[in-house]
Structure 1
Amino acid sequence: MNTPTACIPLSEIKTKPSTSAAAPDPGRFPLDQWYVAGFSSELADKPLARTFLGQKVVLFRTGAGQVAALEDRCCHRSLPLSCGTVEGTGVRCGYHGMLYAPSGQCIEIPGQERIPSKARVRAYHVVEKNQIVWIWMPKAEGAEPTRTPPDYPYHDDPRYKFGSGNYHYQAPWQLIHDNLLDLSHLGYVHLKTIGGNARLHMNAEMKVTSEGDGVKVVRLMPGSTPPPTYKAAWPFGEQCDRWQEIEFDVSHLRIWTGAVEPGTDAIDDPGRGGFHMRGFHGITPETDDTCHYFWSMSSTKHPDMPDNIEAVIEQTAFTFDEDRAIIEAQYRNMLQFGERATWTDIHVDVGGNRARRIVAKLLEQQRGGAA
């Protein structure tokens, strides 16, 4: 799991400050988007340092409960504000005590009454919704959001219980898109948890559709052997009918998986019962080669197995450990082989390829607008 570090070691500080925070490169990542900055539970009484799309940000919650995000830099001597402390009205620099409001304006300089108007840092629009913290990453600094953050009601739905976590990946963000849009790998990578018959996974009935900047992949697998996670959470017999529905958005994916007893509900019925797992996957780029992965798993509970969520969350985390090992090894190999690391697509790659085309389209539009 990722444990953010507030203060950077001296050996990592560059003599020439980066300009990325002031001038985001329109060709690197899609801008004018809501990205996941974290979960509500992560913001308590300390500032939290993270880098999003190459821009260093400090997140904090005021005494009034307001979530804020500022560039992680004091305007006085450039100490990261994440090395400071959170107070009732803002975040205080840990060097000379300058206090910054959520607007980015300095509101107190110890020992000095007059506060220069230029004593401020960049502020980001953040919204806390469904226990997720969203940050607006604009193309033009200070630009207002053009839409509200996405809805994810399952964190607040009494039919579900959920747990969450986050990872820091040493790999580009789109490799995770590829992985999540192709669940055929479950039968090979996740045998101890949510896997199952590998051949059945590879031959599952699959439908891929696109609408706007989204992609949806639906996979149906009737007659499946319940994998270990399903057996731990629901009293399945020898077989179950499984479904997998993956919805891609530029900043996150929603994955609805589960199973019903054979001969009960149809697995393509939106109102089907049985065992449900609703996964939220916020994939936020950090740099060209690293990213944040914020995940949650919301699960239904069987009346005879009310504590199933603990087993589901534990095995979900184990599953993501396995995915990270695969993806980071994949990327290391890509770097090692360089231009020789070309890819040959197969039938399960349709969803991931469509997602890549969407990202490429958005980046091309940004470059055109910047010119």
Structure 2
Amino acid sequence: MFPLNQWYVGGFAHELTDKPLARTLLGRPVVIFRSGDDGVAVLEDRCCHRSVPLSCGILDGGGIRCGYHGLLYDGSGACIEIPGQVKIPGKARVAAYPAVIRDEVIWVWFGDASGTQPHCEPPAIPAHSNPRYQHKTGVVHYRAPYQLIHDNLLDLSHVGYVHGKTIGGNAKVHMEAPTTVSSDENSVRVVRWMKASTPPATYTAAWPFKGLVDRWQEIDFHLNHLQIFTGAVDVGAESLENPERGGFHMRGFHGVTPETETSSHYFWTMSASAHPEQPDNIDLVYQQTAQTFEEDRVIIEEQYRNMRQFAGAPQVDIHVDAGANRARRIIAVRTAA
């Protein structure tokens, strides 16, 4: 159903508390918790004794104890204690998934066979440790397939219509923005420029622009996440080709992980730069970003509802679909493999 031999986002480090965290990822119920070495463990959410969810239990000494009969499991999935019984059967274990925390994100490896180990490191999120930015996190649950979220993020022409009160701006300018799409077998990059445009509400609230701005959107899609770099400078102030350009920056991380074939987890972070005159803008940027993602959720869930209602009805592609179509081809090839 989904591309395997990949890292997927399972959550954020701050979600690991003194209680187990239950989630379904790629159709597999798992329990996530802090392991004894201050790392993270991800096990199938099932006790091997009577199948009670381990997430109904408690954390104990870096392991997790079943809330039914007290069997204790370590981070590898092995049962290491059975109350009242000295001998532990060799088969007393559950499946474990390799997992790490990097840049505050919990990454879980899903292989194509039991015991498959990662062959690469999980992606980095440089903005999280860049002193130029402050960031905050959010989680959204979608009752829709994950590729519809990819489509939405790869086609930012919609923001003028869906997000008019925050990051939108002139809808016509968005639809006509010069766009470059490039790709390889694993990724898609979409770059859009909107020069001499009116800054949207979120931008003017977070940065003291003088008037019109030169605005950019740079979208990088990978199978397990997207990173989107958006922002603006005063019109004509700097070249948009300069990677070190100043102005207002918003760097978004978007970890889109399938829950099932028809539902998804959307783990996001937003990192923003601050002007010396407005140093505390991260709460405003976060609130407006959260609002835009809620607007996206509503329209995507309505889209999916209508797709089921009109199942089989033809759809027509237009010019803004190039990036999303390339991403879908990458996913189709990797899923088939």
Q: TM > 0.5 between the two?
A: yes
Q: In 1, Cα distance between the equivalents of 2:79 and 2:194?
A: 57
- Quote the Cα distance in structure 1 between the aligned partners of 2:248 and 2:285: 11
In structure 1, the partner of 2:126 is 153
The equivalent residue for 1:330 is: 303
Establish whether residue 359 from structure 1 lines up as the match of residue 336 from structure 2. Answer: no
2:72 paired residue among 90, 95, 99? 99
Cα deviation, 1:316-342, whole Å, max 9, x if unaligned, reads: 0000000000000000000011112x2
Decide whether the 8 Å contact of 1:62 with 1:87 is kept in 2: no
* SS of alignment partner, residue 252 of structure 2: strand
Q: Which amino acid aligns with 1:146?
A: H
CA distance in 1, matches of 2:60, 2:205: 44
Cα distance in structure 2, aligned partners of 1:173 and 1:58: 21
Residue 167, structure 1, aligned to residue 136, structure 2: no
Selected match of 2:158 from 185, 205, 212: 185
Structure 2 counterpart of 1:19: none
Aligned mates of 1:311, 1:218 — CA distance in 2: 26
Which ranges in structure 2 are unaligned for 5 or more consecutive residues?
none
Determine the C-alpha separation between the residues in 2 that align with 1:180 and 1:47: 31
SS in 1 for 2:260: coil
CA distance in 1, matches of 2:182, 2:142: 28
- Match of residue 200, structure 1, among 157, 170, 173: 173
Q: Distance in 2 between matches of 1:44 and 1:306?
A: 31
Once the two structures are TM-superposed, the CA of residue 63 in structure 1 deviates from its matched residue by 4.8
1:82 aligns with 2:55: yes
Q: Which residue of the partner structure matches residue 347 of structure 1?
A: 319
C-alpha contact (below 8 Å) 1:277/1:299 kept by paired residues? yes
2:38 corresponds to 1:65: yes
Which 10-residue stretch deviates more, 267-276 or 248-257? 267-276
Distance 1:63 1:194 in 2: 43
The alpha carbon displacement at 1:286 in A equals 1.0
Tell me which of 41, 60, 78 is aligned to 2:14.
41
Aligned to 2:218: 245
RMSD: 0.9
- Quick one: which amino acid aligns to residue 34 of structure 1? W
Contact 2:39/2:100 (<8 A) preserved: no
For 1:285 and 1:42, the matched residues in 2 are separated by 19
Instruction: Identify the residue that residue 369 of structure 1 maps to in structure 2.
Output: none
Paired with 2:152 and 2:110, the residues of 1 have a C-alpha distance of 24
Looking at structure 1, the residues matched to 217 and 156 of structure 2 have their Cα atoms a distance apart, in angstroms, of 8
Moved over 6 A (4+): none
* Runs of at least 5 residues in structure 1 that lack an aligned partner in the other structure: 1-27, 367-371
Q: Counterpart amino acid of 1:60?
A: F
CA distance in 1, matches of 2:321, 2:70: 53
Q: Distance in 2 between matches of 1:160 and 1:206?
A: 27
* Other-structure match for 2:247: 274
Corresponding pairs, count: 337
The answer to whether structure 1 residue 50 and structure 2 residue 14 are counterparts is no
Tell whether the 8 Å contact from 1:258 to 1:275 is kept in structure 2 after alignment. Answer: yes
Q: Letter of the aligned partner of 2:89 in structure 1?
A: P
User: 1:265 Cα deviation (Å)?
Assistant: 1.1
Counterpart in the other structure of 1:298: 271
TM score, norm. by length of structure 1: 0.90
Q: Secondary structure at the match of 2:312?
A: helix
Which residue of structure 2 aligns with residue 236 of structure 1?
209
2:192 counterpart (219, 242, 265): 219
Residue 181 of structure 1 aligns to which amino acid in structure 2? L
What is the identity percentage for the equivalent residue pairs of Structure 1 and Structure 2?
61
Give the counterpart letter for 1:222 in structure 2.
K
* 1:8 aligned residue: none
Give the C-alpha shift of residue 267 in structure 1. Answer: 1.5
Question: CA shift at 1:238, angstroms?
Answer: 2.3
Give how far 1:62 is off: 2.9
- Aligned match of 1:10: none
Aligned-partner Cα distance in 2 for 1:120–1:156: 38
Contact 1:214–1:250 (CA under 8 A) maintained in structure 2: yes
